[in-house]
Chains A and B, each alone.
Chain A
Amino acid sequence: MKPFTYERPADVTEALAMAAAVPGARFLAGGTNLVDLMKLQIEQPTHLVDVSRLPLGQIEETAEGGLRLGATTSNSQVAADAKVRARYPALAQAILSGASGQLRNKATTAGNLLQRTRCAYFYDTTKPCNKRQPGAGCAAIGGIYANTAIFGASQACIATHPSDMAVAMSALDAQVEIAGPGGRARAIALEDLHRLPGETPHIETTLEPGEMITAVVLPPPPPGGQIYRKARERASYAFAIGSVAVAGGKVALGAVAHKPWRARVAEQALAGGAGPAEAMAAELASAQPDGHNDFKLKLMARLGAACLTTTGAGSDQ
């Protein structure tokens, strides 16, 4: 681990100022991803600004009838919240399907969104990886690690985003509230937070340097059923090999792309009266498996159709 300095701000303004003051500074929340990566010297921040004790730990009602989840609310706290469970069951299910109880106690809403890929070659620092070292090449292409993207991959990177929570938030049309240097504040759709890899897979989000996430806002729950289901290699404590979130007529897929994959094509098909299997087939028509991850086609087709059937989002004729 590279030596680094550490500071703990009292409020958001101070946090932004501290981060702006030192080049190479990073925000530290639960640390469950960042510190692991620092130990492997994949992340090498010079300075850590610990945001975990900022007063952003509340879950509040919004005027619109939704919920605002503070950036530092823990995954456990959100999943256990009665309002979340009653109104956003897909989100509670998604969070509870991720990591372990211990990790969820530490992991935060913002940190979870910004966790980095689990691509095996990203973690093995003896391998070329465009995310770690832009221009170095991508060991996953032509490799045998199979938990890779079937949507939106590029010649530079075929990694997936590993978060469960973010997939449910995507289907729920969540907004991300952001504070930037000089007190600039903005809000974007969660769908616009993460980027596809393109030629610059090391730039993973649309956050500007020095910006921090202050909250995630959930609009009022859409009419209709909700569900989150995750396929994985063991019953618990494993990243998804494919997951599906459904909220009313909204569908998002996990472990298939560099970001939570909003299944707009499937949604349109459903809106046009398609049944679950038909809607999933329409979405998957544009998927581009690479030979190693072909299983994801059958998996997503079946899992998606099963979720849509359960929630009644479409009915097969």
Chain B
Amino acid sequence: MSSVKDWAAPTPISENRSGLIGKGVDRYEGRLKVTGTAPFAYEVEAPSPPAYGVLIASPIAKGVVSSADISAAQAAPGVRLVWTPHNVPAQGERGAKINPRSQRGSNPALAAKIEHFGQHVGFVVADTLENAKAAAALVRFDYAAEPADLIFEDNLDAADQPEGEEDVRIGDFEAAFAGAPVRLDETYVSPLQNHAQMEPCATTAWWDGDNVTVHTSIQMVKGGQHTLAETLMIPSTQVRLLTRYIGGGFGGKGQSYDDLTLAALAARELGQPVKVAYTRQQMFQATIHRPAVHMRVRLGAQPDGRLDAFALEAVTHCRREAPFTEHAANFARSLYAAPNRLTGHRLVKLDIPAAGAMRAPGEASGMLSLECAMDELAEQLGLDPIALRLRNEPETDPETGKPFSTRQLVRCMTEGAQRFGWDRRNPKPGQVRDGRWLVGLGMAAAIRGNFLLPAKAGVRIDADGTITLRQGMTDIGTGTYTILAQITAETLGVPLAQVKVELGDSDFPPAPGSGGQFGAATAGSAAFAAGMNLRKALAELAIGDPNSPLYGDDPELVTFGGGNIAVDNRAEPLDQLVARAAPDGVYVEGSITPAADARDYSQHTYGAHFAEVGVDPDTGEVRLRRMFGVFAAGRILNAKTAMSQITGGMIWGVGTALHEYNEVDPRYGSFIAQDLAGYHVPAHADIVNLSAMFLDEVDDKANPMGIKGVGELGIAGAGAAIANAVYNACGARIRNYPLTPEKVLAALP
């Protein structure tokens, strides 16, 4: 195993001779996407004309399907197959072989036992989508309904410690809190949010003998492949899973769903390719969501602002049969110094759709609490919110005492304050008007963990000089294709146009996929390792080839650049070398594993958000006027894609503070909003002036390239900055997100 010390040495990435690293190059697949020619899973052309599957959802939350009448549907035009719990083919149970993350999808599909509203109970395949839909409406089900626990707030008393988890206690929180001269004890509630990726879950499947090929929309290639193999009770080698383009994942596609299972089963049954896509309503009811979280924050401080006691206790919910904890308190373990600390989670089990990962699970909800509480405490103390945070800036990880790999939180806050004009904030709320609008400023800190997982990559060079990187990685719209091309081109000293990137295929060397903002670091480090191995192979090739100008040179002296391999002024183009000495091309693989001593450091990305909002006193409407964020997230690979990740996260944070939520109907267990007309995320008009910057940073404890994740950091804390600005604008402190006109109006005098 490697050590983080090995990662400090200069590399082609840190040397960045052709300047590709950090450059804001356009998206590798951008043209395909904007011209509509990137085939998403549902659009992939099958080898023969496909049939179309439609799913039928349960209208009850709990119980069993007692009977199903499929006769009318079977007789409807174009119908090929009608499945219910009573005739769906047997499916293998998902076992220990696969990543537990990928086990949460319903298994088996079309189970008779109903565990939530919207669970699929029927499936119809027909020659056209319209015929399948019309026939689906003809299937009649009878249900034996059972009482269900549906409402989080009504079941808070039933909250339990999540299995295998313990509270983290440092010092004596209770005593320190009781003795603190200044205290805050408030509960904040973050909303339940649904995944609403532009591309729904979708699969095109076909069989060739005993082998199945599936194109599906999933973030984790291997997880999906193994899950399907277990379901179909065939070896994974007989499942080829492809996921080339993904129209948004955000954690919601970390697992597979019924579209994958049923498309594969039906294609086998019919001997014909089958396409299945979720409707928007099914995306809401039959995938996963970010659960609501009740967060009690207690802060005990000295009059000068130093925290003696800090506690964040989070209560959240999950589907009864699918344990998942939204770890809303974890971020706080590394954020502010306080000698006496308590953090922990409790879980309420409900009969509603499954809770699961959504962009920055933990931080996105959790920071809405503490970062408001700090604002409230600052006011109590008569301190500026930044000054309060500076006073509690730890030197080492406040919980573990480990050194930080890098931590530029202070600079994020001070630099941001200066650029944003924080000194213009009037600490007294409700003082600034612009026309009818009450105007206020708010800020919040951001922290999000950084991770590295094991991964592999393969890279080959062909006789024409084309370099192809292959990896069982996914690009969920974040820019993975692009940064892998940049890393490969820079490592091998060739122009970007010479590099091809192929992703999303279970036949390729595996990578864990996209999630937890570990994608770029993990897949990128493996690609970098593969590139370094190819350098070595090419150097050996040249040195061992009597026809090469490098024949007999010292491999240590070989350099790459401008498409050439060289020692001093002896050089030859890579394509010339390969065409002559290895006309079939050269293929190598590389891999990355976390360093043995990586856990000796507290490793995070950081930021600070600054927001200015207007509040309409007539209606309680809140409008963002401007927002600015400063972030430190290691070396930035691509200025453009990193910026769109970070600002995209901030925008989601704005939505979390102001717009985005769903509610469960207490009678049916269904979500009230089930489409994008009713489920609001920010529209363009909500985001008029929002920008961000990255501080210079290289984290040489993170991975060989010194990069970190940027995909989730932007959302962490963003909503709290908005809520703090709303308070500053109008004096209404609303601790129940989002801050809808209804809630703001109620709080206004």
**Which residues on A are within 8 Å of B, measured CB to CB?**
1-3, 41, 100, 118, 120, 123-124, 126-127, 139, 142-146, 229, 231-239, 241-242, 295, 298-299, 302-303, 305-306
A146 and B742: CB pair below 8 A? Answer: yes
Per a CB cutoff under 8 Å, which of B134, B659, B673 touches A234?
B659
Q: Top 4 closest A-B pairs, CB basis?
A: A126-B59, A236-B685, A235-B685, A231-B619
Per a CB cutoff under 8 Å, which of B77, B670, B678, B686 touches A235?
B686
Q: Told that A127-B668, A127-B670 touch, could you supply 10 new A-B pairs with CB distance under 8 A?
A: A123-B678, A232-B621, A234-B683, A236-B683, A238-B680, A295-B741, A302-B745, A303-B618, A303-B619, A306-B618
Taking CB atoms, residues of chain B closer than 8 Å to A235 are 623, 683, 685-686
Given contacts A2-B134, A41-B133, A234-B682, contact A302 B619 (CB under 8 A): yes
Taking CB atoms, residues of chain A closer than 8 Å to B658 are 234
Given contacts A127-B668, A144-B663, A235-B686, contact A41 B741 (CB under 8 A): no
Main SS at interface, chain B:
loop
Complex Cα distance, B436 from A237, in Å, reads: 22
| B residues contacting the other copy or chain, number (CB 8 A) | 43
Residue contacts A-B, CB under 8 angstroms, 8 given:
A1-B130, A3-B134, A126-B59, A126-B668, A127-B670, A143-B667, A236-B685, A299-B745
A-B contact count (CB 8 A): 98
Main SS at interface, chain A:
loop
- Asked if B586 is at the interface (CB within 8 A of a chain A CB), the reply is no
A145 and B682: CB pair below 8 A? Answer: no
Complex Cα distance, B741 from A298, in Å, reads: 11
- Asked if B746 is at the interface (CB within 8 A of a chain A CB), the reply is yes
B686 and A118: CB pair below 8 A? Answer: no
Give chain A nearest CB distance to B660 CB in angstroms.
9
Within B649-701, the residues touching A (CB, 8 Å) are: 658-659, 663, 665-668, 670, 672-675, 677-678, 680, 682-686
Complex Cα distance, B678 from A118, in Å, reads: 8
Complex Cα distance, B621 from A126, in Å, reads: 33
Given contacts A118-B677, A120-B673, contact A1 B134 (CB under 8 A): yes
B133 and A234: CB pair below 8 A? Answer: no
Complex Cα distance, B618 from A242, in Å, reads: 11
Give chain A nearest CB distance to B518 CB in angstroms.
32
Give chain B nearest CB distance to A286 CB in angstroms.
21
- Asked if B32 is at the interface (CB within 8 A of a chain A CB), the reply is no
Taking CB atoms, residues of chain A closer than 8 Å to B414 are none
Task: Determine the residue in chain B with the shortest Cβ distance to A305.
Answer: B618
Taking CB atoms, residues of chain B closer than 8 Å to A239 are 677
Per a CB cutoff under 8 Å, which of A41, A241, A302 touches B742?
A241
Chain A CB count within 10 A is highest, among B616, B684, B741, for B741
Task: Determine the residue in chain A with the shortest Cβ distance to B668.
Answer: A127
B672 and A120: CB pair below 8 A? Answer: yes
Taking CB atoms, residues of chain A closer than 8 Å to B130 are 1, 3
Taking CB atoms, residues of chain B closer than 8 Å to A41 are 133-134, 137
Give chain A nearest CB distance to B658 CB in angstroms.
7
Taking CB atoms, residues of chain A closer than 8 Å to B684 are 236
Give chain B nearest CB distance to A39 CB in angstroms.
8
Per a CB cutoff under 8 Å, which of A144, A229, A237 touches B666?
A144
- Asked if B620 is at the interface (CB within 8 A of a chain A CB), the reply is yes
Taking CB atoms, residues of chain B closer than 8 Å to A232 are 621, 741
Task: Determine the residue in chain B with the shortest Cβ distance to A295.
Answer: B742
Complex Cα distance, B127 from A3, in Å, reads: 14
- Asked if B740 is at the interface (CB within 8 A of a chain A CB), the reply is yes
A145 and B672: CB pair below 8 A? Answer: yes
Taking CB atoms, residues of chain B closer than 8 Å to A1 are 130, 133-134
Task: Determine the residue in chain B with the shortest Cβ distance to A143.
Answer: B665
Given contacts A231-B741, A295-B745, contact A242 B619 (CB under 8 A): yes
